[in-house]
Structure formats: structure tokens, C-alpha cells
A and B are shown apart, each in its own frame.
Chain A
Amino acid sequence: MTESTEKMTGARAFIECLYREGVDTIFGYPGGVLLPIYDELYDADIRHILVRHEQAAVHGAEGYARATGKTGVCLATSGPGATNLVTGIANAYMDSIPMVVFTGQVPSNLLGNDAFQEANITGITMPITKHNYLVQDANDLPRIIKEAFHIASTGRQGPVLIDLPKDITVQEIDFYYPDKVNLRGYKPTYQGNLQQIKKAASEIGKSKNPVIYAGGGIISSEASKELREFAEKINAPVTTTLTGMGGFPVEHPLFLGMPGMHGTKYANYAIQESDLLIAVGVRFDDRVTGKLKAFASNAKIIHIDIDPAEISKNVKVDIPIVGDAKWILQKLLKYASPSQSEAWIKRIDNWKKDHPLYYVEPATGNGIKPQYIIEQISEACKDAIIVTEVGQHQMWAAQYFRFSKPRTFITSGGLGTMGYGFPAAIGAKIARPDKTVFDIAGDGSFQMNSQELATAVQENVPVIVAIFNNGYLGMVRQWQELFHNKRYSSTCIQNSVDFVKLAEAYGALGLRATKREEVRPAIEEAIASGRPTVIDFIIECEENVSPMVPAGAAINEIMDLERKE
């Protein structure tokens, strides 16, 4: 069949292309213009996950991609189906996750006529895709799909969208799947410049206060083993960003935790006092750097990244190395000698002792401490995949879960999409049925896509949603408390829904824990049930994420928001 010239329709060709790309699962929602494709999917050897809202299809595909490293695939109809994907596409673009997104489109002869369910999705998604296509001739479809998977999964990964007018799906073509792509404008660099690498190696040897600042690039390039070997060899502490979490074991003595706004004090102090910052697969996001001028101002900066446009975008870099993190770390392992960091490591260990992450149990016993719940999940299920929504619970998860492996923390980093976690958790669980998958959620975020309980139950995907229920849109409330005199404008959502009953209404298991001693049994029961489960944890309602760097401050100006014992 690969040897060309079998006659088939565009819809059939679509399926054949997915087979050749090794796609086993797609997340989607049908619609008028997709009927020919759904007719082919009916007997295709591809699992189709029917979501309840297209946003869940795109987040589901992203969860699948992040849990496996494979390219996620989703499908939605024209017009509203396509526009419902927009948030998820932007999310994948910000976090550089490989995805191929298919949308139906009105027939070519109606394009531009404001036809029923027409939306110019290629125009809308131009700034939030790595590339996109409007298919104009079904004969181009196999080449376009081949290119899309190639573009999505190579270089700096990201989402690619393919818009399929209905007539393309019924047009008959001679099917031929190319085995190579030919894109003269797209040649990502994998091998870093050796001279730059040697220059970096020599700086490392001279350095007394080195810090490795590693991000999502470590996960995408599967470089966590190399990162660990490199850190151990040069004896430098490692801080991983939110999207880099899991890229370095939390329990490793060189680990500093997360940097930035809700990072650890010692990670921030270490960056500020470092003389050499080795940035790998990061983009100097404002949530990490705080006040840019004051960020690592005494350090020389080595920046390793596959995207040349990230070099010196936010922070001036002394030694840029463009290429694949794994390849470059392997070379650095060869050329770099240990840094002179003995005194530095001692200083950092003292910071760790003097300024640990901490929380204080309430004397009254009212409300569970959220940090305690994360610790209990971590203890009960060390190898779980932790997916999160966005807000306070997300930060607690990043601070308190003891991650040990890559691809076990899946979170919306760049875009900060509430409602992301639950559908992404469903995608992750489908990709890794052997793993226990938690969605760490807030009572606000969960309600943005709670309809997906129906998907989880119908498809029998036993994810566990742990709702950190404080009756507030907690992160915004925290900022209102700190910066707006506790004027809780539109952030109180107390007693608006019974999550146990909601879970039961969908046929899922609903549990509730209101006291500390009920936490662990609820977790154990959820894991043992093997069913989609919602646990409603009633937490301290005005608990803050601590420590915190106020927006615009330098990252060493980090303050405790938790009371002292």
C-alpha cells in the first residue's frame, strides 16, 4: 500500500496517514462537515475518545502527548468546534507540546462566504500554532499530514493545525504516502556548536557558584538522565521550572526546587548569588525571573536551547548554545570538569536548613492543610502522574510532591489554563493505563471542564480528581488579600456545588474528606476503586501559597505568607 496508487477518498487517506504516523488514539467530537471522516473512523483501528466539549479534546491530546512524548492528535468540526480548540492550541504552543490538530471546514466553494459553521481557523490560529494548513487539494493531504507530524515533533515542538474542507474528504485520490519531508524553510539545529560547548565547559571549570536552571526542554528532549549526570559531574545545584518538574529527582541532594514567584527561597537565593547560571531548555519566563534587571545579575549566563529565538530574548546571554539539550549535555559531560563549588554547596545546604518550605497545622483543626494532602498523595503513590489545573493547588503540587521521573508532572505552565487538568489527566491515563493519574484541582478550575466526568465514565478512564475545595478562586483571592485590602471581588464561590453528588450523577465515585485523618483513607479508597473518582477535600479556606515574590520584585525579595509556629 505504501507503494502508491491505491484509489481512495480523502477521508480514507486521512485514516491511512494516521496509521503510518503510528497514531493509536485521537480525541474528538463530530459535526456536519466531518461525517465522511467519522464514517471511516467507525471501523478504523484507532481509539476515538468522544469528549463532551472540544476543549477537552485538545487538552486530552496534550495530556496524552506529555505523558508519552508522542504527538497528540485531536479532531473537531468546523466553526464552533474549531474555535473551541483555540485555548488548548494556545496552551500547547506556550508549553511547546507536539500536537496535530485537525479541524473540519465548510466545502471549498463556500469558503469566505460566511457559510453555516464557517470560521477562518487557519487565520485565527496563525499566532498560536507552529504552522498550519488549509488543504486545497486532497492529493496534497498525505504530504501535508507527513509534514505536520514532522514539524510538530521536531525542533522546538508545538501544535500544527490542518483544516479540512468537506469536499477534500470525499475527493478521490491516488494515495501515496511520502517517506520524507522536503521543507526548505525548516531545518532545526540539533547539534550544538562545539566551540561554544568548549567555551561553556571552560567557564564551568572556573566557576565557584554555579547553578543549573532547567526547564521543559529537559522533558521534551528526554534529557533527564544526562541532566543528572551533568549536575553530579560538575557538582552544581539544580532548579527546575514548573514545566521542568520531574526532570530532576526531588530527593536528590543537589535539588533546589522550583525558582521564581512561588519557588523555594534557596533556589532564588542561589540564582541571585550565582556566578554562572547554566540555563537548559528554559525561556526566562517572567514568573521565574521577577524583575529582569536584578535577575542573576552577578552571573555569566550559558543558555542551551533548541530555539534560536529564545536566546537573549529576555535576558542577555554570554554563551548561547543552540541545539538539542540531550545532545549538548552529553558533550558537556565529556568536556566539562567539575566546578569549584564545595563552599557554595555548603552555603546552599545552610539556606535549605534555614529557609525550608513549610506549613503550620491549624491549632483549631478547621479545614485540611492543602500541603498535607499533596504530601499524602506523594507518599501513597510515589510514581503517580500528577496533572493539575491552574492556581494555588498547582503551586502546592509543584512544591510538595516528591517527583522522581520525567513525564509525571503535567501542568499548564505558560498559558495558565484553568480547566486544563481534568481533560489532560484523562489523556494521560489513556496513554499510561499502568499509572495512577491524579488531577490536582481547585473548586474553581474543576468546574471549567467537569462535564468530562461523562467521558471518563463512558470510556472507563479511572482518573482521580482531588479537589482542593476552599470556596474561593484561591490564587486571585490571595492577590486580593495581599494587594487589594481583602476586597474579595468575585472570587467567593462557597457552597455552590456538591462535588460528591456531581460525581455520582455522572456515575463516578464521589468521596469527601473534611478532616486531616480522612485524607489518606480517601486517597487509598480512590486508588483501590479503579473507577473515575472525585475527592472533595475541604481545605483551609484562606490558606496562601508561600513563599511569594510580589510581581515586579527581584526574586530574592521573597516573603513568607505562612504564619510562623
Chain B
Amino acid sequence: MRHTLAVLVENKYGVLSRVAGMFSRRGYNIDSLTVGVTEDPTISRMTIVVMGDDDVLEQVMKQLNKLIDVIRVTDLKSEESVDRELALIKVNSEVTNRPEIMQIANIFRARIIDVGSKSMIIEVTGDEGKITAIEQLLKPFGIKEMVRTGKVALRRGQKNS
């Protein structure tokens, strides 16, 4: 099972390495990890997607909490939170198939952010399923390169994570 964790940490050098090191040394798998500063510049927020059953999740959360620089860990259950991911996809395109690709982008509310003679770059934001779907549709044209940010997520409603 996949779980999404919101982890508030001190915005200090070495914190990412402490968190990543804990995962590798205890044998937990990170699917994705994003980190950035929050509304409070002394605090960074990590969104970590981790694989494992409930026992693994419990241990991961406890081990994260043991790190002195970790301020709070929240399990973001999908029904109570919103999440997004951004992807940039560089896809092969000739003059002839540009309209077709642009149509796909439109359907997904994606944006064309670069057009070259042989390729274009599409920016798409959404949940994981949406990004996978557009990726599948663009594959036949030939994806030259692709980058995904990994998931970011927030709990709905009250501020408590």
C-alpha cells in the first residue's frame, strides 16, 4: 500500500540527509519525496510517498518522529487531502502532428511551454492518474524526456498538518 506523509522539519542543513538516511538504513522504500520551504521560513515541508503495510507505516512515522529535526509527521489519507504532481514531457512532434498533440494537451488542461522544430514540451499538473493518462496518450508520438516533481499534498480544511 502507498501512503503519503506530510513531514514538517527544521529548515537546516543536513535534514534531508537525516530523513533519507533513516529510510535507507531501516529498509523502507520511498516512492517520491519533495521538499520545500513553508509559510514559516524556519520550517520546510516534505511530502513523502512510502510503500508498505500499516505496520511499516507506523514504524516509519515513529522513526521519523525520533529525529530531533522533525517537528511533525501526518499521514495524509487520500479522502481527507488533496495532492498534485507536475510533469514536464518533451514529446517528438513534426508540423503535421502538432495539432493532434495540442488537442491532447487541451483535454488535460496541460500547457505547451516550448515548441521546437522536432519536439515540444508539455507541462501538466494533476494527480498521479491524470499524469499517467496523458503520458500514455503521448507515448505513440515518442517521449524524448520526461520529469515528474513527485507528489505534494495538503490536508483539506483546518490547518493541522
Report if A353 contacts B (CB, 8 A).
no
Task: Choose from B13, B25, B68 the contact partner of A185 (Cβ within 8 Å).
Answer: B68
Contact bitstring B11-29, A, C-beta under 8 A = 1, else 0: 0011001100110010000
Task: Choose from A123, A183, A307 the contact partner of B66 (Cβ within 8 Å).
Answer: A307
Report if B70 contacts A (CB, 8 A).
yes
A window 93-147: CB within 8 A of B: 122-123, 126-127, 130-131, 134
- Minimum C-beta distance from A495 to chain B (A): 42
Cross-chain contact B58 with A183 (CB below 8 angstroms): no
Cross-chain contact B17 with A126 (CB below 8 angstroms): yes
A127 cross-chain contacts in B, Cβ below 8 A: 21-22, 25
Report if B123 contacts A (CB, 8 A).
no
Given contacts A308-B62, A312-B58, contact A185 B67 (CB under 8 A): yes
B window 63-117: CB within 8 A of A: 63, 65-72
Complex: A308 Cα to B63 Cα, angstroms? 9
Report if A313 contacts B (CB, 8 A).
yes
Complex: A186 Cα to B58 Cα, angstroms? 18
B22 cross-chain contacts in A, Cβ below 8 A: 127
Cross-chain contact B63 with A130 (CB below 8 angstroms): no
Complex: A228 Cα to B25 Cα, angstroms? 38
Cross-chain contact B18 with A309 (CB below 8 angstroms): no
A186 cross-chain contacts in B, Cβ below 8 A: 68
A312 cross-chain contacts in B, Cβ below 8 A: 55, 58
Interface size, chain A (Cβ < 8 Å) = 18
A window 202-226: CB within 8 A of B: none
- Minimum C-beta distance from B58 to chain A (A): 7
Report if A151 contacts B (CB, 8 A).
yes
Report if A293 contacts B (CB, 8 A).
no
Cross-chain contact B66 with A126 (CB below 8 angstroms): no
Cross-chain contact A126 with B68 (CB below 8 angstroms): no
B17 cross-chain contacts in A, Cβ below 8 A: 123, 126
Cross-chain contact B62 with A309 (CB below 8 angstroms): yes
Report if A184 contacts B (CB, 8 A).
yes
B window 6-50: CB within 8 A of A: 9-10, 13-14, 17-18, 21-22, 25
Complex: A127 Cα to B14 Cα, angstroms? 13
Report if B59 contacts A (CB, 8 A).
yes
Tell me which of B9, B58, B66, B70 has the highest count of chain A C-beta atoms within 10 A of its own C-beta: B66
Task: Choose from B9, B14, B25, B59 the contact partner of A313 (Cβ within 8 Å).
Answer: B59
- Minimum C-beta distance from A323 to chain B (A): 15
Complex: A127 Cα to B10 Cα, angstroms? 18
Cross-chain contact B68 with A151 (CB below 8 angstroms): yes
Complex: A267 Cα to B68 Cα, angstroms? 37
Q: Name A128's closest neighbour in chain B (CB-CB).
A: B25
- Minimum C-beta distance from B10 to chain A (A): 6
Total contacts A to B, CB within 8 angstroms? 39
Complex: A130 Cα to B13 Cα, angstroms? 17
Chain B interface size, as a band, is 20 to 34
- Minimum C-beta distance from A543 to chain B (A): 38
Complex: A184 Cα to B9 Cα, angstroms? 10
- Minimum C-beta distance from B103 to chain A (A): 49
- Minimum C-beta distance from B116 to chain A (A): 39
Cross-chain contact B25 with A184 (CB below 8 angstroms): no
Q: Name A127's closest neighbour in chain B (CB-CB).
A: B25
Q: Name B71's closest neighbour in chain A (CB-CB).
A: A185
A307 cross-chain contacts in B, Cβ below 8 A: 66
Task: Choose from B14, B21, B71 the contact partner of A184 (Cβ within 8 Å).
Answer: B71
Cross-chain contact B18 with A126 (CB below 8 angstroms): yes
Cross-chain contact B25 with A183 (CB below 8 angstroms): no
Q: Name A133's closest neighbour in chain B (CB-CB).
A: B14
Contact bitstring B111-129, A, C-beta under 8 A = 1, else 0: 0000000000000000000
B71 cross-chain contacts in A, Cβ below 8 A: 184-185
Q: Name B14's closest neighbour in chain A (CB-CB).
A: A122
- Minimum C-beta distance from A312 to chain B (A): 7
Task: Choose from A185, A308, A311, A313 the contact partner of B69 (Cβ within 8 Å).
Answer: A185
A309 cross-chain contacts in B, Cβ below 8 A: 59, 62-63, 65-66
Complex: A312 Cα to B69 Cα, angstroms? 24
A151 cross-chain contacts in B, Cβ below 8 A: 68
- Minimum C-beta distance from B125 to chain A (A): 31
B63 cross-chain contacts in A, Cβ below 8 A: 309
A185 cross-chain contacts in B, Cβ below 8 A: 9-10, 67-72
Cross-chain contact A308 with B65 (CB below 8 angstroms): yes
Task: Choose from A130, A134, A308 the contact partner of B68 (Cβ within 8 Å).
Answer: A130
Complex: A307 Cα to B70 Cα, angstroms? 15
B55 cross-chain contacts in A, Cβ below 8 A: 312
Contact bitstring A490-507, B, C-beta under 8 A = 1, else 0: 000000000000000000
A window 125-177: CB within 8 A of B: 126-127, 130-131, 134, 151
Contact bitstring A293-322, B, C-beta under 8 A = 1, else 0: 000000000000001110111000000000
Contact bitstring A383-417, B, C-beta under 8 A = 1, else 0: 00000000000000000000000000000000000
- Minimum C-beta distance from B46 to chain A (A): 13
Cross-chain contact B68 with A183 (CB below 8 angstroms): yes
Cross-chain contact A126 with B65 (CB below 8 angstroms): no
Given contacts A131-B68, A151-B68, contact A126 B21 (CB under 8 A): yes
Q: Name B9's closest neighbour in chain A (CB-CB).
A: A185
Complex: A123 Cα to B17 Cα, angstroms? 9
Complex: A311 Cα to B66 Cα, angstroms? 13
- Minimum C-beta distance from B133 to chain A (A): 39
Q: Name B66's closest neighbour in chain A (CB-CB).
A: A309
* Interface CB pairs A-B, < 8 A, 9: A127-B25, A131-B68, A131-B69, A183-B68, A185-B67, A186-B68, A309-B65, A312-B55, A313-B59
Considering the complex of A and B, which 3 residue pairs feature the smallest CB-CB distances, nearest first? A309-B62, A131-B68, A185-B71
Taking beta carbons and an 8 Å cutoff, which residues of B are in contact with A? Answer: 9-10, 13-14, 17-18, 21-22, 25, 55, 58-59, 62-63, 65-72
Q: Given contacts A123-B17, A185-B68, could you give 8 more A-B pairs where the C-beta distance is less than 8 Å?
A: A131-B69, A134-B14, A184-B10, A185-B9, A185-B72, A308-B62, A309-B59, A313-B59
